């Protein structure tokens, strides 16, 4: 049936003035001559390509999501103390360090999320930045962000919907904070990864009253003139030493993106491992292609001899064999593109559930497709060179003696 389709297509194109080179037509016909052998070769190449492309898509997906999470860690340096200090005092001291532009005091509450019967569902971590802080750029899914006049109101991460699937802005939730059961209103729901409890935000103005820490705080966020990771690390060390030398009970000072960059490095290691697996699969496929092409050349010895008898030179014979290998590579690429879509969703779901405990939106990139196209063309060409050279070395005498 393929030969019939090929003949019809060739005639239609010829009628429109498009002439396909005869050697290429022969290569197309030869490609589908041994279908079981072709299927086995295509399987390994397609699997390698699909995994390769999917890994690139998953990498972009993870980096895109971590970039979104980074919107909650805009500060360049975070400093925590063992005792509360006045905001103005810490600001005045920190501003003496070169490169520090401004300082914000944050509050913190820890509690528990309860169900309607008072049973503990999950731990709750409430951050209290100033309501007008630009060091948090939340991705709001429903409702609004916190305001300075909010009382017993908070914005909850989407992780709370694991326990309350119908949770929406305007709903009330039961909380236990410092042993007291309270009812708070959810003003908004934002996108975030909850790995250790549910994350929430409430305004500094209200949380500081609950903690009896008006104009004081244990935790501060600093903005510097340079936002690179190297500069953040250097300033964190400098600020740590600076405050300790002046007698402050500092607990820790770290770069704002330290935890995120650690996560990125871990994910990149996983991605590299998956890429190596995909490349190894592709190499096995190319080795199989070499064997397939070698067997095809042996089976077509008489045909190659006839080509030589009617004037085909070494280059023409090699082009025919290499073209056949490239056709197989292109077919495997098309199949890999189709298969990479479900593979991307599957890998993305598995990795995101393992790392973030929730599925994340999938992002596709053309990079993986472009690189794999070039790689599969290279592999198929290289895999066909040896069989092509063997075919070109066949003489008419050897062909006539072949049985």
Q: Is there a contact between 363 and 57 (Cβ–Cβ < 8 Å)?
A: yes
State how far the Cα of 11 lies from the Cα of 20, in Å rounded to an integer: 10
Q: What is the mean pLDDT of residues 52-71?
A: 86
Q: DSSP secondary-structure letter at 161? A: G
Helix or strand holding residue 230 (H, E) = helix 229-245
**Residue 59 pLDDT exceeds 50:** yes
In the prediction, which pLDDT does 84 show? 93
Instruction: Say if residue 163 is in the same domain as residue 233.
Output: yes
Q: Is there a contact between 112 and 123 (Cβ–Cβ < 8 Å)?
A: yes
pTM: 0.71
Instruction: Say if residue 165 is in the same domain as residue 275.
Output: no
Instruction: Say if residue 175 is in the same domain as residue 218.
Output: yes
Count of C-beta atoms within a 10 Å radius of residue 43: 14
**Residue 32 pLDDT exceeds 70:** no
Instruction: Say if residue 219 is in the same domain as residue 336.
Output: no
Tokens of 216: 């004081």
Q: What is the mean pLDDT of residues 177-194?
A: 88
Mean residue pLDDT of the chain comes to 82
Instruction: Spell out the alpha helix ranges (H) of 300-313.
Output: 301-309
Structure-model confidence comparison of residues 2 and 218, the more confident one: 218
Count of C-beta atoms within a 10 Å radius of residue 121: 16
Number of domains composing the chain: 2
Structure-model confidence comparison of residues 81 and 31, the more confident one: 81
Instruction: Say if residue 238 is in the same domain as residue 342.
Output: no
Instruction: Say if residue 43 is in the same domain as residue 90.
Output: no
Position 329 confidence tier, pLDDT thresholds 50, 70, 90? confident
Q: Is there a contact between 45 and 328 (Cβ–Cβ < 8 Å)?
A: yes
Instruction: Say if residue 111 is in the same domain as residue 48.
Output: no
Strand residues in 231-316 grouped as ranges (E): 250-255
Instruction: Say if residue 235 is in the same domain as residue 93.
Output: yes
Q: What is the mean pLDDT of residues 143-150?
A: 94
**Residue 8 pLDDT exceeds 90:** no
């Amino acid at each position: 049936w393929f030969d019939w389709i090929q003949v019809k297509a060739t005639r239609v194109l010829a009628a429109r003035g498009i002439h396909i080179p005869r050697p290429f037509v022969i290569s197309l016909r030869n490609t589908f001559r041994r279908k079981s052998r072709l299927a086995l070769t295509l399987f390994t190449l397609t699997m390698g390509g699909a995994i390769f492309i999917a890994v690139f898509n998953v990498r972009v997906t993870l980096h895109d999501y971590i970039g979104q999470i980074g919107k909650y860690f805009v500060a360049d340096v975070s400093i925590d103390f063992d005792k509360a200090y006045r905001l103005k005092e810490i600001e005045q001291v920190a501003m003496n360090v070169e490169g520090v532009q401004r300082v914000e005091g944050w509050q913190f509450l820890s509690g528990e999320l309860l169900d309607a019967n008072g049973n503990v569902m999950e731990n709750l971590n409430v951050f209290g930045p100033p309501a007008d802080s630009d060091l948090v750029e939340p991705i709001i899914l429903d409702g609004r962000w916190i305001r300075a006049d909010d009382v017993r109101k908070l914005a909850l991460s989407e992780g709370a919907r694991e326990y309350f699937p119908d949770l929406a802005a305007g709903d009330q939730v039961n909380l236990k904070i410092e042993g007291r059961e309270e009812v708070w209103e959810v003003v908004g729901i934002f996108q975030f990864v909850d790995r250790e409890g549910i994350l929430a935000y409430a305004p500094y103005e209200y949380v500081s009253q609950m903690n009896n820490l008006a104009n004081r705080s244990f935790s501060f966020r600093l903005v510097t003139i340079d936002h690179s990771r190297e500069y953040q690390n250097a300033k964190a060390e400098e600020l740590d030493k600076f405050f300790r030398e002046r007698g402050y009970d500092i607990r820790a000072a770290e770069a704002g993106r330290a935890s995120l960059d650690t996560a990125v490095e871990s994910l990149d290691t996983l991605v590299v491992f998956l890429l190596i697996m995909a490349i190894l699969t592709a190499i096995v496929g190319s080795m199989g292609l070499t064997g397939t092409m070698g067997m095809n050349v042996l089976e077509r010895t008489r045909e190659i001899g006839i080509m030589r008898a009617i004037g085909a030179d070494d280059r023409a014979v090699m082009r025919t064999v290499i073209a056949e290998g490239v056709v197989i590579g292109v077919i495997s690429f098309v199949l890999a593109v189709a298969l990479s879509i479900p593979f991307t969703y599957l890998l993305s779901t598995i990795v995101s559930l393992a790392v973030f405990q929730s599925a994340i939106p999938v992002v596709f990139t053309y990079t993986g497709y472009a690189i794999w196209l070039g790689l599969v063309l290279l592999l198929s060409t290289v895999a066909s060179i040896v069989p092509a050279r063997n075919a070109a070395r066949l003489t008419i005498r050897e062909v006539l003696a072949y049985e």
